[in-house]
Amino acid sequence: MRFTSSLFLVAIASAPRLVDAFVKGINQPWGNNQYGHWLSSSIQGYSAVYSSSDMAATFAAAKDIGAQWVRIWLFEDGQGLTVDGNNYVTGLKSDFETNFNDVLSHAAANGVKVYPTFFNYPPNTSNFPIANFFTDSNAQNALLNNLIKPLIRTYGSNSNIAAWQLYNELNGIANPYFSGYVIDQATAKAWVTSTTAAIKSVNGGAQVSVSQIQINDDYHPVGTSNLDYKGTGVDFYDIHIYSDNGQEIPAASAYNLDKPVYLGEFGELTGEGDSHQNDVIYNFFVAAKAGGWAGAFYWNLGFAGSQPGVCGSDSTIKYTLYNCEGGQRGGYNEFKYS
Q: Examine residue 201 and state whether it is found in any structural domain, yes or no.
A: yes
Q: Find the domain containing 26 and state its range.
A: 6-337
Q: What is the pLDDT of residues 103-134, one digit of tens each?
A: 999 999 999 999 999 999 999 999 999 999 99
Q: How far apart are CA 258 and CA 182, in angstroms?
A: 27
Q: How far apart are CA 164 and CA 142, in angstroms?
A: 19
Model confidence at 324, pLDDT cuts 50, 70, 90, reads confident
**Hey, which bits of 132-230 come out as E strands?**
164-167, 208-209, 211-213
pLDDT for 308: 56
pLDDT for 189: 98
pLDDT for 306: 62
- Burial of residue 113 (CB within 10 Å: 0-12, 13-18, 19+) is buried
Q: Examine residue 1 and state whether it is found in any structural domain, yes or no.
A: no
CATH of the domain at 327: 3.20.20.80
Q: Are 115 and 165 in contact (CB under 8 A)?
A: yes
Q: What is the pLDDT of residues 53-72, one digit of tens each?
A: 999 999 999 999 999 999 99
Cα dist from 312 to 13, 292, 304, 315, 316, whole Å: 39, 36, 16, 8, 7
pLDDT for 325: 84
Residues in CB range of 132: below 8 A, 6 or more apart = 122, 123, 124, 139
pLDDT for 274: 95
Q: Are 133 and 191 in contact (CB under 8 A)?
A: yes
Q: How far apart are CA 83 and CA 86, in angstroms?
A: 8
Q: Are 122 and 129 in contact (CB under 8 A)?
A: no
Q: Examine residue 262 and state whether it is found in any structural domain, yes or no.
A: yes
Q: Examine residue 26 and state whether it is found in any structural domain, yes or no.
A: yes
Answer whether residue 310 shows pLDDT above 80: no
Short-list 19, 58, 24, 18, CA closest to 38: 58
Q: Examine residue 68 and state whether it is found in any structural domain, yes or no.
A: yes
Give how many domains the chain has, as a whole number.
Answer: 1
pLDDT for 286: 98
Answer whether residue 7 shows pLDDT above 80: no
Q: Examine residue 331 and state whether it is found in any structural domain, yes or no.
A: yes
Q: Examine residue 320 and state whether it is found in any structural domain, yes or no.
A: yes
Q: How far apart are CA 192 and CA 161, in angstroms?
A: 20
Q: Examine residue 213 and state whether it is found in any structural domain, yes or no.
A: yes
pTM: 0.93
Instruction: Give the mean model confidence (pLDDT) for residues 43-50.
Output: 92
Average pLDDT value for the chain: 92
Answer whether residue 289 shows pLDDT above 60: yes
